[in-house]
């Protein structure tokens, strides 16, 4: 049995590169940018009027002039015009180019317009006022957004501004989510006394959806030959297999055995944590599969074949075990794979907690902000089977195995699954 | 000009109910649950074996017996069997029903099995050990998740467990996003010297996508009759119109005028804040529109017609103004409309800030977690036009208008737009 730290390091060492694809920028929120975005022009691209009003030659105002005959209008989106007479003015609109020869803008609030003449009603006007200078926010060629950024609405605005209608993003891994366990029936079925409904595949689908990864799902009964033949096919087709169940010590927990027979290298089985201890993790190299299988995957080029690795996360079947392991291991693995450095978030424990076993304890907590402090209040569930307790919490707090008493006010890492 | 607090209250008072729709549970992440979810059975639904091992009659162990002949196997997903002889045992798997007459489970690690007999190798066994008691986590009829909850992966698990394959969620508003401004060209176009590309509609689309609201977009040139006829049609068709631009004092800022002519009631125009001051907000009642228009909307029943209100958020055209106003006003309006109480998040200012104008100041900040404290470091942009500065920040900190000096260490509300 290894520690959570060792397990996480092993998982991170198995990060994979899924390559890059080009997609329409407007479909890219939540995806990982894979190219540097540079300014295609200065920002602003011209001396930009930043207030509706009149544009004048500042030196006329400085020389005491207060009445300016209106020569014309410079609208946003119109070609630049020229102030012909330095003693006149031009009406200008926010977003317009500053007219040639104009050097200051006075807002409508500060002038009175009568008979085509604007009279300035304030005493102080500054040179270059209300002009957003060409290139002030950025120069052509400036790096605006670095590759390896998670694209949010802010990046969408930048991409639109510089004309990147399509962009390069990290390809998502192809993921298959597989539940096992003969006690499981479909969501729409009425379970018999000894049955329960499938739920873990759906929580996993939803957790992956948050990462903008779409996935496929399948349920396989506890039948070793069936399990083996299906997994064999999936290893060729998918980048990641996520299992829920069949990794413990039961008579029908065939999964570790089957994965071994299929040449999937076990990197660890069992992690010193609660819940989620029987977590099995391994990696399959296509070269490790039988020749036949490699050649069956006809849609892959010879070069790809030698690169193809499938990462296998086999989580214990208890709902909270599956849930926390996906957050604590699959999420970091994904972020590492696509080039994102995950920031650690931590919170202040609101109550004393005692946990004796020499295991890392992932405890459900409700989060609250108080005066800039993030407070984590434990939600006591009934062990790893209690899915209902998850809906009352927002995160897990990760209490280290070296400690048995955790005091109110101490700060620990949290793994959040709910924002609001 | 009204305060941000008054503006927000006015916006919240205009919250609308869009009704309820039923959708497949697996499509519901991020949507708002509109029914209480109750347990359809006890949790667990039977006395559930929680360790792989053997099930015995505890009194035999208590009476000193240590060797148990194996009578059979109780697998997960099999009908309950019965321990026939209280001096025998049954092999049991995690997730299985506890066999009749069995009262304790001893895990495989603590027994030695030879010749179909299990010998217990530990000294202490407790009555009812390793049995997850029927109903311990919840009873049939218990409320598991309340209506008016944002559905996350945790709720998906609960919905699957209780067999809710379809669920009632809040209908999303129908939203049209409209940009104005003759200086704007498409993302794929090369702007002329006096032009820039459209970006605000796309940031708005992305910000709404975070709320799982899909929206339509349109660009209208600064032509009053065109603007008027298009808006008239949209008022009949959409629940919300989001505008960007044309609300300031410019000659071509026709929007307030057009909205007034179309019978949209102005609730406020201009808010004491920076950026985003010229924000215009109003509401249109279908009854206020011309008879003709009401009757044109043939797909709406007579009763609906009298209820139909369209809420109009007309944001200033500067990129950051549009962005912050969407977060500070549209988001709270949406959450109120669908029945969600938004939690206020606050953070600790990392640097002194001086802001003299008597305006609420929405300042871009970068967030970091340090020892359970959320630290907000200002990112100094170049005023409301500087879209590029948004990509370096994670949130806005809201500095109140009554104060002009804001000290390092003081705590203020933040409005976050990036999670990681």
Domain boundary among A338, A358, A376: A338
Query: What's the residue count for chain B?
Result: 420
Q: Do B210 and A29 touch (CB under 8 A)?
A: yes
Cα dihedral: B168, A200, A367, B146 (round 10)? 30
Domain boundary among A338, A354, A371: A338
pLDDT at B267: 97
| Residue in B closest to A420 by C-alpha | B343
Cβ-Cβ contacts under 8 Å, B345 against chain A: 369
Q: Do A150 and B420 touch (CB under 8 A)?
A: yes
Domain boundary among B114, B132, B150: B132
**Residue A313 included in any domain:** yes
Q: Are residues A313 and A361 in the same domain?
A: no
| Residue in A closest to B184 by C-alpha | A77
State the best of A184, A194, A224 to mutate against chain B, taking most chain B CBs within 10 Å: A194
Query: Whole-structure pTM over 0.90, yes or no?
Result: yes
Helix axes A153-161, B200-209, angle to 10 degrees: 160
Taking every pair of Cα atoms in chain A, the longest distance, rounded to a whole number of angstroms, is: 97
> DSSP states of A175-236 as a string?
EEEEEE-TTEE-TTS---TT-EE--HHHHHHHHHHTTT--EEEEEE-S-HHHHHHHHHHHHH
Kindly tell me if the per-residue pLDDT of A301 is higher than 70.
no
CATH of the domain at A83: 2.170.190.11
pLDDT at B389: 82
Task: Tally the domains of chain A.
Answer: 4
- Report which secondary-structure segment, H or E, holds A48: strand A48-49
pLDDT at A383: 52
Give yes or no for a contact between B283 and B265, defined as CB atoms under 8 angstroms apart: yes
pLDDT at B245: 87
State the nearest Cα–Cα gap between B208 and chain A, in angstroms.
9
| Residue recorded with tokens 């927002």 | A394
Degrees (nearest 5) of the Cα angle B199, B201, B205? Answer: 120
Q: Do A391 and B149 touch (CB under 8 A)?
A: yes
ipTM of the complex: 0.91
Cβ-Cβ contacts under 8 Å, A419 against chain B: 419
**Residue A41 included in any domain:** no
State the best of A53, A110, A132, A153 to mutate against chain B, taking most chain B CBs within 10 Å: A153
Q: Are residues A14 and A88 in the same domain?
A: no
User: Taking the CA of residue A377 as centre, how many other CA atoms within 13 Å lie in the half-sphere pointing to its CB?
Assistant: 7
pLDDT at A293: 43
Which of helix, strand or coil describes residue A305?
helix
Q: Do B206 and A165 touch (CB under 8 A)?
A: no
The pLDDT tens digits for A317-354 are: 889 999 999 999 999 999 999 999 988 999 999 999 99
Cα dihedral: A8, A13, A17, A23 (round 10)? 20
Q: Are residues B91 and B29 in the same domain?
A: no
Degrees (nearest 5) of the Cα angle B321, B346, B419? Answer: 70
| Residue in B closest to A204 by C-alpha | B153
Q: Are residues B180 and B279 in the same domain?
A: yes
Q: Decide which of A380 and A136 is more confident.
A: A136
| Residue recorded with tokens 């008493």 | A405
The residues facing B398 across adjacent strands are B362
Cβ-Cβ contacts under 8 Å, A371 against chain B: 346, 411
State the nearest Cα–Cα gap between A300 and chain B, in angstroms.
32
Q: Do B29 and A150 touch (CB under 8 A)?
A: no
**Residue A140 included in any domain:** no
State the nearest Cα–Cα gap between B131 and chain A, in angstroms.
12
Going by C-alpha positions, the residue among A182, A183, A191, A244 that lies closest to residue A215 is A244
Choose among B137, B191, B372: nearest Cβ to A382.
Answer: B137
CATH of the domain at A373: 2.40.340.10
Q: Do B251 and A389 touch (CB under 8 A)?
A: no
How many A-B residue pairs are in contact by the CB < 8 A criterion? 342
Tokens of residue B122, six digits: 């530990």
Degrees (nearest 5) of the Cα angle A228, A229, A232? Answer: 85
Q: Are residues A390 and A405 in the same domain?
A: yes
Sign of CA dihedral B93, A175, A227, A249: negative
Cβ-Cβ contacts under 8 Å, B48 against chain A: 385
Cβ-Cβ contacts under 8 Å, A99 against chain B: none
- Report which secondary-structure segment, H or E, holds B157: helix B153-161
Distance between CA atoms of B4 and A5, rounded to whole angstroms? 47
Q: Do A157 and B202 touch (CB under 8 A)?
A: yes
B301 Cβ contact list (under 8 Å, min separation 6): none
Q: Are residues B215 and B238 in the same domain?
A: yes
Q: Are residues B206 and B334 in the same domain?
A: yes
Q: Are residues B34 and B76 in the same domain?
A: no
State the best of B76, B338, B398 to mutate against chain A, taking most chain A CBs within 10 Å: B76
pLDDT at B289: 45
Distance between CA atoms of B12 and A171, rounded to whole angstroms? 41
> DSSP states of A230-284 as a string?
HHHHHHHH-SEEEEES--SSSTT--HHHHHHHTTPEEEEE-BSEES-TT-EEEEE
Q: Do A153 and B210 touch (CB under 8 A)?
A: yes
Q: Are residues A162 and A228 in the same domain?
A: no
CA B360 from centre of chain: 26
CATH of the domain at A156: 3.90.105.10
Residue B116, class by beta-carbon neighbours within 10 Å (0-12 exposed, 13-18 middle, 19+ buried)? exposed
State the nearest Cα–Cα gap between A328 and chain B, in angstroms.
15
State the nearest Cα–Cα gap between B184 and chain A, in angstroms.
7
**Residue A138 included in any domain:** no
Q: Do B164 and A181 touch (CB under 8 A)?
A: no
- Report which secondary-structure segment, H or E, holds B58: helix B58-62
State the nearest Cα–Cα gap between B233 and chain A, in angstroms.
26
Q: Are residues B162 and B290 in the same domain?
A: no
Distance between CA atoms of B394 and A312, rounded to whole angstroms? 34
Q: Do A194 and B79 touch (CB under 8 A)?
A: yes
Distance between CA atoms of A288 and A261, rounded to whole angstroms? 11
Q: Do A52 and B372 touch (CB under 8 A)?
A: no
Tokens of residue B130, six digits: 């390793």
List per-residue pLDDT tens for chain B, 420 residues long. Answer: 999 999 999 999 999 999 999 999 999 999 999 999 999 999 899 999 999 999 999 999 999 999 999 999 999 999 999 999 999 999 999 989 999 999 999 999 999 999 999 999 999 999 999 999 998 888 999 999 999 999 999 999 999 999 999 999 999 999 999 999 889 999 999 999 999 999 999 999 999 999 999 999 999 988 899 999 999 999 999 999 999 988 887 777 889 999 999 999 999 999 999 999 999 999 998 554 444 444 444 444 444 444 579 999 999 988 999 999 999 999 999 999 999 998 899 999 999 999 999 999 999 999 998 999 999 999 976 554 577 788 999 999 999 999 999 999 999 999 999 986
State the best of B91, B94, B212, B381 to mutate against chain A, taking most chain A CBs within 10 Å: B94
| Residue in B closest to A37 by C-alpha | B388
B246: left (phi over 0), alpha (psi -120 to 50) or beta: left
The pLDDT tens digits for A374-386 are: 999 999 765 545 7
Distance between CA atoms of B286 and B288, rounded to whole angstroms? 5
Kindly tell me if the per-residue pLDDT of A291 is higher than 70.
no
CATH of the domain at A231: 3.40.980.10
Q: Are residues B177 and B244 in the same domain?
A: yes
Degrees (nearest 5) of the Cα angle A7, A9, A10? Answer: 65
Q: Are residues A325 and A390 in the same domain?
A: no
Domain with A30, as residue range(s), is 22-36+145-170
**Residue A389 included in any domain:** yes
pLDDT at B295: 42
Averaged pLDDT for residues A243-258: 86
| Residue in A closest to B201 by C-alpha | A157
Q: How confident is the model at residue A297 (pLDDT cuts 50, 70, 90)?
A: very low
Cβ-Cβ contacts under 8 Å, A156 against chain B: 199, 202-203, 205-206
Choose among B26, B46, B183: nearest Cβ to A193.
Answer: B46
Which of helix, strand or coil describes residue B61?
helix
């Amino acid at each position: 049995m290894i520690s959570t730290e060792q397990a996480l390091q092993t998982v991170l060492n198995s990060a994979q590169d899924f390559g890059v694809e080009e997609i329409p920028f407007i479909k890219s929120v939540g995806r990982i940018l894979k190219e540097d975005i540079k300014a295609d022009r200065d920002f602003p691209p011209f001396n930009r009027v930043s207030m509706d009003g009149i544009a004048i030659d500042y030196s006329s105002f400085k020389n005491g002039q207060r009445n300016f005959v209106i020569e014309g209008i410079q609208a946003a989106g119109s070609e630049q015009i020229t102030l012909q007479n330095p003693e006149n003015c031009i009406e200008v609109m926010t977003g317009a180019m500053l007219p040639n020869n104009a050097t200051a803008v006075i807002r409508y609030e500060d002038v009175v317009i009568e008979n085509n003449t604007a009279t300035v009603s304030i005493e102080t006007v500054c040179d270059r006022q209300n002009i957003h200078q060409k290139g002030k926010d950025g120069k052509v060629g400036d790096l605006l957004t670095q590759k390896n950024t998670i694209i949010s609405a802010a990046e969408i605005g930048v991409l639109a501004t510089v004309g990147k209608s399509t962009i390069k993003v990290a390809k998502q891994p192809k993921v298959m989510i597989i539940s096992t366990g003969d006690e499981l029936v479909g969501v729409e079925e009425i379970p018999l006394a000894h049955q329960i409904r499938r739920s873990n595949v759906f929580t996993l689908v939803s957790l992956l959806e948050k990462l903008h990864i779409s996935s496929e799902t399948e349920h396989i009964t506890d039948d070793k030959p069936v399990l083996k033949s299906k997994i064999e096919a999936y290893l060729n087709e998918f980048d990641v297999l996520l299992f829920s169940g069949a990794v413990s010590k039961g008579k029908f927990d065939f999964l570790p055995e089957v994965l071994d027979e299929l040449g999937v290298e076990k990197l660890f089985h069992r992690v010193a944590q609660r819940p989620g201890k029987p977590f099995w993790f391994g990696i399959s190299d296509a070269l490790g599969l039988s020749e036949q299988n490699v050649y069956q995957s006809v849609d892959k080029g010879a070069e790809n074949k030698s690169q193809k690795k499938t990462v296998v996360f086999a989580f214990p079947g208890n709902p909270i075990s599956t849930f926390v392991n996906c957050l604590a291991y699959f999420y970091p693995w994904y972020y590492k794979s696509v080039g994102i450095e995950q920031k650690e978030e931590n919170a202040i424990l609101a109550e004393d907690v005692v946990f004796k076993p020499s295991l890392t304890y992932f405890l459900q907590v409700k989060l609250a902000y108080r005066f800039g402090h993030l407070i984590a209040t434990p939600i006591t569930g009934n062990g790893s089977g209690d899915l209902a307790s998850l809906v009352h919490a927002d995160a897990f707090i990760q209490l280290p195995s070296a400690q048995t008493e955790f005091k109110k006010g101490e700060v620990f890492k949290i793994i959040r699954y709910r924002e609001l």
